Amino acid sequence: MPTCRHCSSTYSREQFIHGNGPNAQVCVRCGLEKGLVTKEQANNMYDDSLRSSRLQIMARRYSVFMYIPLLWTLWVMVLSDVSPWGWYFLGLLIVLTLLAPVWFIYRGGQYSGDMARLTPAYERPEGH
C-alpha cells in the first residue's frame, strides 16, 4: 500500500490524488489541506453526513465488545450476591460472551456491504 509523502500515512490507492510532480503520492486529505485539489476534484473524500453514517455502522459492529465487559463488571460488583438473579444473569453473560464472536463473524458480510454502499465511487483516470 502506498504511503503519503506529506503525512506518512498508509492508505489504499483509492485515497490518493492523481498526477505527477507535487500531486504524486499525496493522499486526498493532505491534497485538500495543501490546496493541491479542490473539494469537487476529491470526490472520494467523505463529507460530514457520510462520515457520520460510516461511524454509526462501525460503532454498531464493535459495540458488543464494549457492552460485554461492562455487563461482567456489573455482575461482579452488584449482581453476584443477589440470589437467584445473580445466577440467571451469570448464565446469560456466559451465553452472550460465547455468542459474541460468532455473531461478529456472521454479520461481517452485512458490515462489508453497508460500508461498500457508503463508499464513494472511485474512478481511475486514464493511464492508471
Residue 37 resides in a domain? yes
Contact between residue 76 and residue 86 where contact means Cβ atoms under 8 Å apart: no
Do the domain assignments include residue 14?
yes
Predicted local distance difference test score (pLDDT) of residue 62: 95
Strand partners, 16: 27
Domain shared by 89 and 75, yes or no: yes
Q: Are residues 63 and 88 in the same domain?
A: yes
- Please give the average per-residue pLDDT across 86-108, as a whole number: 95
- The one-character DSSP state at 37 is S
79-to-54, 76, 87 alpha-carbon distances in Å: 36, 6, 8
Is residue 127 very low, low, confident or very high in pLDDT (cuts 50, 70, 90)? low
Q: Looking at the structure, tell me whether residues 15 and 26 fall in a common domain.
A: yes
Q: Are 55 and 89 members of one domain?
A: yes
- What single-letter amino acid sits at 128? H
46 has a pLDDT exceeding 70: no
pLDDT of residue 95: 97
Q: What's the domain range around 28?
A: 1-45
- Give the pLDDT score at 13: 77
Whole-number Å distance between alpha carbons of 6 and 34: 10
Based on the domain organization, do 56 and 109 belong to the same domain?
Answer: yes
pLDDT digits (tens, 9 = 90+) for 7-23: 988 887 778 887 788 88
Q: How many domains does the chain contain in total?
A: 2
Q: Examine the pLDDT at 43 and tell me if it is beyond 80.
A: no
Whether residue 55 is found in the same domain as residue 108: yes
Residue 61 is which amino acid?
Answer: R
Separation between Cα atoms, residue 53 and residue 112, nearest integer Å: 14
**DSSP run (H or E) holding 63:** none
The verdict on 41 and 52 lying in the same domain is: no
Claim to verify: residue 36 and residue 52 sit in the same structural domain: no
| Whether residue 56 sits in one domain with residue 9 | no
Q: Is the pLDDT of residue 128 over 60?
A: no
Q: What is the pTM for the complete model shown?
A: 0.64
Residue 50 in this model has a pLDDT that exceeds 90: no
